């Protein structure tokens, strides 16, 4: 054995110690702003590491500080599906809104028996950084992937660029868990931003509008070397996917836990009790914001207890247990040139103000939301008015109202169109809803992309390999105009699309073929019917048994089902009354897509779980959660996501978490899979 080979273990140890020491100095400098060595000493350590790795290239690791800029420029970013959605927060601007938030939270906790009559809810208050949201995935302590927020469910893979950010460790220290997905914010300090703009001007290039835009643009460069030249930083404040034997039970302890791995956590957070303390924190942050090295656009309040967070849960795309308290919005005046409508991915029809360009809230604004038809009438906004426009941070600009003294004689009132400007389907407004909607769900081009991605998702038709980039190409080429068109695709034409080869095309066609006979509940969920989510699709499938029976159901028939309310009944009847929706369903049938009928229960004897509420937690031995949920629903039971005193049973499998503990605290009966099956047989 040669001398150089026998010394490799010693060199490996030296390299590991050097990398750890450099990472520690990065943490002291970029996160704590408290360096303990001179720049010359740091440069000397880096040079030693580079020389050693040059002599032993086989010992270079992706996590080495020398490899932060090692990737080649990309042609495009890959899409990344988040293991857990990156949800938004509801916003508040007034003190009264925070008082109302605290009351809602406290009342809900008292109703659940988690807060005494005279107790105040406890929160973590922290800065709301004005940057770009990021998700960092660590496996066995090593940074494997970084992704932007995107639409909350799918983002862009920016791993190579994030590796250039010195405040983000490529390798964790301490007693880290096997898998940890961290959420945070990438930003640029104000002083660094000013220096960056000076350099832009000196090169004859356009300066950035504000630090947030500069950070976002820098992180989304296809060439990591450009990102490396930009002074990006990061702070983390949350988490997503997680695998760990034990975890902290409070938000504050979790932040300390993340910090123990040398992840960048800003120390400005505080644990506070009651609304008054929250408002004081907000006031202090408002007064001190201009002294901070970075920009914040408000503060965030989150319940400190993770158990309490789980009990409160989520509404729509935001948690009930947290809220963003934004600083006052900036306002300017401009002329409203026109009001058009925009069709959202769910068919929502939103009036949009087309404005003479105006600089407000750090950006030039030409469009602003008018929310809905009622808001336009309430504000009495007319085409031709001089209007006040408001914008705060990344909040969508809105029209506050008109300046009546400046209203011209020819100002025109807005009239909601009766038909969609994209697909010419009827625009309807259901009872008790503020939003009008395009009824062309399966044929409207504005809804097509998200509709196809939803239909292909795992809990719908489960068409693996049909990603966002390919859907974009299929739609833009005009090849796929409805869900039925997916089932006419062949290998040769798919292989011709960008980033698709014969193998990928073959796998996708196979996945499409496997989706031709879906369970009825998954088919209904895939159709994207308004108000029909995964659970409601199971309820309808179990009640009607077949698609034909559901298509014939009237609103009154639907209302006879205990779990179906007026909004759901009206939406389902409306969907199956639209000729274009029925045409797509017929086209699917012609392509061999036949949802599998479910044996319809008859009589109470076949619904032994009628009136019982279940919560599933952990991994069951033989059933997936979807399969267990379907069995329970078909037997008349309900499946919910949180445990309360009203829960009848908790079905617990391996690695059951806080839901099991909550059930034991409340005295809720806990079943294993076999005991649940026994109930079904009764």
Q: Are 345 and 468 in contact (CB under 8 A)?
A: no
- Closest by CA to 222, choosing from 149, 160, 143, 150, is 160
- Closest by CA to 595, choosing from 527, 508, 506, is 527
Catalytic residue among 55, 128, 302, 646: 128
Cα Rg of the chain (Å, integer): 28
Let me know if 557 is exposed, middle or buried by CB neighbors in 10 A (0-12, 13-18, 19+): middle
Q: Give the CA count within 13 Å in the CB-facing half-sphere of 567.
A: 10
Instruction: Please give the Cα distance from 60 to 621 (Å, whole number).
Output: 42
Identify the H or E element spanning 338.
Answer: strand 330-343
Query: Which residues fall within 8 angstroms of residue 40, CB to CB, at 6 or more apart?
Result: none
Two tokens, residue 289: 């914001």
Backbone angles phi, psi at 98, to 5 degrees: -75, -40
Show the DSSP H helices in 112-210 as ranges.
159-162, 190-202
Mark whether 128 is an active-site residue: yes
Two tokens, residue 655: 């690695």
Give whole-number Cα distances, 206 to 39, 130, 170, 581, in Å.
Answer: 31, 22, 32, 49
Q: How many CB atoms lie within 10 A of CB 166?
A: 23
Let me know if 393 is exposed, middle or buried by CB neighbors in 10 A (0-12, 13-18, 19+): buried
Instruction: Please give the Cα distance from 568 to 529 (Å, whole number).
Output: 9
Q: Are 505 and 495 in contact (CB under 8 A)?
A: yes
Q: Give the CA count within 13 Å in the CB-facing half-sphere of 32.
A: 13
Let me know if 148 is exposed, middle or buried by CB neighbors in 10 A (0-12, 13-18, 19+): buried
- Coil, strand or helix: which one is 23? helix
Residues annotated catalytic, as ranges: 128
């Amino acid at each position: 054995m040669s001398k150089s080979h026998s010394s490799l273990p010693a060199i490996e140890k030296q390299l590991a110690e050097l990398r750890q020491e450099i990472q520690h100095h990065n943490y002291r400098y970029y996160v704590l702003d408290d360096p303990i060595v001179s720049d010359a000493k740091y440069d000397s350590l880096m040079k030693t590491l580079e020389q050693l790795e040059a002599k032993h290239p086989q010992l270079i690791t992706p996590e080495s500080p020398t490899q932060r800029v090692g990737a080649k420029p990309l042609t495009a970013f890959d899409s990344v599906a988040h293991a857990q959605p990156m949800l938004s927060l509801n916003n508040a601007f007034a003190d009264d809104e925070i008082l109302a938030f605290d009351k809602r939270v406290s009342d809900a906790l008292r109703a659940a028996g988690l807060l005494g009559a005279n107790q105040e809810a406890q929160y973590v208050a922290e800065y709301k950084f004005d940057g770009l949201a990021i998700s960092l995935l660590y496996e066995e302590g090593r940074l494997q992937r970084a992704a932007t927020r995107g639409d909350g469910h799918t983002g862009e893979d920016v791993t190579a660029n994030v590796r250039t950010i010195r405040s983000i460790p490529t390798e964790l220290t301490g007693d880290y868990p096997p898998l940890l997905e961290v959420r945070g914010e990438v930003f640029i300090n104000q002083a660094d931003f000013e220096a960056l703009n000076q350099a832009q001007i000196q090169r004859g290039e356009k300066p950035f509008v504000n630090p947030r835009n500069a950070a976002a643009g820098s992180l989304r460069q296809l060439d990591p070397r450009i990102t490396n030249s930009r002074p990006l930083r990061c702070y983390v404040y949350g988490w997503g996917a997680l695998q760990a034997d034990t975890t902290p039970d409070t938000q504050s302890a979790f932040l300390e836990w993340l910090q123990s791995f040398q992840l960048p956590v800003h120390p400005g957070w505080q644990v506070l009790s009651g609304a008054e303390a929250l408002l004081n924190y907000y006031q202090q942050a408002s007064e001190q914001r201009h002294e901070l090295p970075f920009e914040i656009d408000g503060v965030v309040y989150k319940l400190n207890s993770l158990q309490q967070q789980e009990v409160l849960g989520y509404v729509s795309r935001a948690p009930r247990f947290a809220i963003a308290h934004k600083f006052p919005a900036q306002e300017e005046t401009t002329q409203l040139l026109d009001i058009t409508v925009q069709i959202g991915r769910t068919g929502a029809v939103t009036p949009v103000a087309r404005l003479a360009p105006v600089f407000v809230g750090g950006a030039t604004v030409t469009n602003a939301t008018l929310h809905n038809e009622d808001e336009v009438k309430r504000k009495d906004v007319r085409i031709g008015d001089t209007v006040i426009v408001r914008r705060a941070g990344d909040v969508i600009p809105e029209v506050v109202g008109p300046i009546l003294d400046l209203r011209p004689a020819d100002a025109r009132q807005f009239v909601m169109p009766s038909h969609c400007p994209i697909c010419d389907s009827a625009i309807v407004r259901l009872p008790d809803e503020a939003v009008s909607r395009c009824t062309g769900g399966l044929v409207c081009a504005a809804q097509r992309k998200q509709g196809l991605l939803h239909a292909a998702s795992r809990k719908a038709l489960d068409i693996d390999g049909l990603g966002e980039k390919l859907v974009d190409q299929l739609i833009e080429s005009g090849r796929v105009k409805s869900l039925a068109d997916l089932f006419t695709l062949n290998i040769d034409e798919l292989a011709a699309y960008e980033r698709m080869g014969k193998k990928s095309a073959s796998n996708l066609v196979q996945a499409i073929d496997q989706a031709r006979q879906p369970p009825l509940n998954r088919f209904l969920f895939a159709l994207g019917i308004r108000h029909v989510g995964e659970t409601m699709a199971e309820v309808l499938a179990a009640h009607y048994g077949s698609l034909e029976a559901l298509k014939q159901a009237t609103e009154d028939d639907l209302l006879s089902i205990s779990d179906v309310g007026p909004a759901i009944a009206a939406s389902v009847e409306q969907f199956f009354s639209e000729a274009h929706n029925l045409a797509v369903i017929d086209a699917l049938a012609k392509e061999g897509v036949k949802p599998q009928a479910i044996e319809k229960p008859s009589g109470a004897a076949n619904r032994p779980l009628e009136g019982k509420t279940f919560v599933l937690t952990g991994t069951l031995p033989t059933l997936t959660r979807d399969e267990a949920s379907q069995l329970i629903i078909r037997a008349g039971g309900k499946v919910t996501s949180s445990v309360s005193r009203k829960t009848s049973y908790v079905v617990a499998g391996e690695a059951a978490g806080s839901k099991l503990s909550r059930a034991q605290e409340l005295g809720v009966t806990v079943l294993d899979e076999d005991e649940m099956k026994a109930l079904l047989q009764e």
